[in-house]
Amino acid sequence: MRRFENKVALVTGAAQGIGRGIALRLASEGATVVVNDRANLDAAAETVREATSYGQEAIFWQADVSDRDAVAAMYAGIVERFGSVDIVVSNAAMSVREPVLTASWEGVLSTLEVTQFGVFHVCQMAAQQMVQQPPNPVSRGKIVIISSVQAEVAAEDSVAYNMAKAAINHMAHTMAAELVGHHINVNVVLPGWIDTPGERAYYTEQELQENGKLLPWGRLGTPDDIAKAVAFLASDDAEYITGIELRVDGGYVVARSTVD
């Protein structure tokens, strides 16, 4: 299935983890993919290499999404090279995990700059470009925001990350309402606990496997679980869907609600 032939997709934070899974899924279905990351150059190069193995062009664009000028330059460069931006997946995020009583302002601000303000920069500029584009073929563009179930379930030691994710969900609803008349779809995916390289900073392999068994579905999610949901929302199959929050969490939130 190649739902994204002749479409250009930007995925932020795509060097590894969820972003990488999304970039490869879109490439496998025919998209030209722009792999964005602010660091992880070797990992980004590997993502680009694998994306091109599907027969489409893929490039790496290094930019920090918290830098508004850098985001503007990225869009200008993509449009100059490819002519349009049809799909934007705002995935880049960071989290400085600290208890609220001792959280440093530096940690809070660095988390918000990427996870909230960076998402705003990426999505606003996506919309500004998309309103200028003709439908391709039925939508002027698809914006998919990667949020988290932590917008709903407040994980400890993550106050800045939790409030950033809740904020971008509401931002997405606002954008969807304002852009529906332009036929620009704006939707949100809320991953649960996903098996990514970043989790290794906090857990051992054994701890991840054991914790995964405790989840309702019996395992951690994978980047491809998220990528499949994103691909649906980015496709013409979801033409009539905008302003939704789609949980991809193996039943974590609903299981908690029945216990609570």
- Point out the residues that are catalytic: 148, 161, 165
Cα–Cα–Cα angle for 189, 250, 155, nearest 5°? 70
Q: Under a CB-based contact definition with an 8 Å cutoff, are residues 73 and 52 in contact?
A: no
Burial class (CB in 10 A: 0-12, 13-18, 19+), 218: exposed
Closest listed residue to residue 126, CA positions, set 34, 58, 38, 20: 34
DSSP strands (E only) in the chain: 8-11, 32-37, 58-62, 87-90, 141-146, 184-191, 245-248
Cα–Cα–Cα angle for 21, 51, 136, nearest 5°? 90
Q: Under a CB-based contact definition with an 8 Å cutoff, are residues 158 and 199 in contact?
A: no
Cα–Cα–Cα angle for 190, 141, 84, nearest 5°? 125
Could you give the CA distance from residue 25 to residue 161 in angstroms, rounded to a whole number?
26
